[in-house]
Amino acid sequence: MNLPGIANLLPMAHHVLMSRGIEWEDQRTFLAVLESGSLSGAARRLALAQPTVRRRIETLEAQLGLALFTRSPNGLVPTEQAVTLGSYARTMASASEAFVRAAAAPRDGIGGTVRVSVSEFVGIEVLPAMLAPLRERFPALAIEMTLSNLPADLLDQEADIAVRMHPPRQDALLAQHVGAVPLHFFAHRDYVGRNGLPQTVEDFADHALIGPDRAPSDLAIAEALLPSLPHPRFAIRTDSHAAQAAAIRAGLGIGVLQAPIGYADTDLVAVLPDRLVHAIDTWIVTHIDLRRTPRIAVVFEHLVEAFGTYVTRIDSTDRIE
């Protein structure tokens, strides 16, 4: 039996979905198998028995007239058709989650769930402190934080609000520029006590550095700042900014931090405090159709104000005693 080509697949699938009433739970199960790579992984994610997951996949395949997965020693491998359908299932899942968030909002007052997408570092180091006064003011609000260095698709409702380091290009998105977050060099005071404090960039040649591994944008900044230092000079290399921060706090060397975070930590010392490493322009973004939703508006406005304060909160006082 020859399977239909991708160009003909989606109209066929749409016709089948409409005429046969394929259940969303079967599609949701398909997405869980696609993303986990196994029946057992999907069963754990959905809190279902594995035979139930298998039965739902078999039912979906029978209704579509398509093979969605093939077996391999490493688990289930999605067919070409399954990969294509997966993008639409993800869109449906995002819409379903947005539906639940909207339905959970109380009719009176500000409450319900708002999903905020931020980078890993911001989600760990910056956002929690900003949310504390917001939750005190609106205790009925629930904030879902999704941490990823990849931008969430606001058009597909993967998130209600996103904190982005680049302006959106889609007309359907509303963005508020809140300033630029400065990056400076920092080290733990114990490291400085053992190794001294560099007075010039050239002095970095005698120090352990913490920096990027493979991220092109971060490597470009490092190479521009430290042109005389080869890549292997980094004693600790990781593309995770949160892991870089942890390494700096552990006294493993000199690294780069968002200045408001570095100066707020009394155990850290600014290295070459007059030298700006980079400045990260920051925008708070939402879908224009959501901006007037009360719970979205409250969180959006709070984040605009909070990040506006954050980017200007730099205490350059020298803390070396």
On whether the pTM is more than 0.85, the answer is: no
- 92 and 215 part of one domain: no
- The residue among 101, 130, 150 that closes a domain is 101
Is residue 265 a part of any domain in this protein? yes
**Could you tell me if residue 1 is inside a domain?**
no
What pLDDT score was predicted for residue 7?
39
How high is the pLDDT of residue 14?
A: 45
Look at residue 82 and tell me whether its pLDDT is greater than 90: no
Residue 271: inside a domain, yes or no?
A: yes
Q: Which of 43, 77, 101 is the last residue of a domain?
A: 101
pLDDT higher than 90, residue 150? no
Band of pLDDT at residue 23, cut at 50, 70 and 90: confident
Within this chain, do residues 213 and 128 fall inside the same structural domain, yes or no? yes
Residue 288 lies in a domain: yes
pLDDT computed for residue 10 by the predictor? 42
pLDDT of 164 above 80: yes
CA distance 211 to 225: 12
Is 167 a residue whose pLDDT tops 80? yes
Domain count of the fold of the chain: 2
Where among 101, 118, 149 does a domain terminate?
A: 101
Dihedral sign (CA 260, 264, 268, 272): positive
Tokens in use for 258?
A: 């968002």
The Cα 220–Cα 78 span in angstroms is 37
Count CA atoms within 13 Å of residue 111 on its CB side: 9
| Euclidean distance between CA atoms 44 and 37, whole angstroms | 12
pLDDT digits (tens, 9 = 90+) for 128-144: 999 999 999 999 999 99
Domain that holds residue 52: 24-101
Judge if 239 and 155 occupy the same domain.
yes
Q: Is the pLDDT of residue 216 over 70?
A: yes
Within a domain: residue 221? yes
241 and 134, same domain (yes or no): yes
Range with the largest mean pLDDT of 60-74, 151-165, 234-248? 234-248
Burial 36-45 (b: 16+ CB within 10 A, else e): bbbbebbbeb
Structural domain includes residue 15 = no
Q: Are 54 and 181 in the same domain?
A: no
Q: Is residue 9 part of a domain?
A: no
Domain contains 95: yes
- The answer on pLDDT for 106 being more than 80 is no
CATH number at residue 59: 1.10.10.10
Q: Enumerate residues 6+ apart whose C-beta is below 8 A from 275.
A: 184, 185, 201
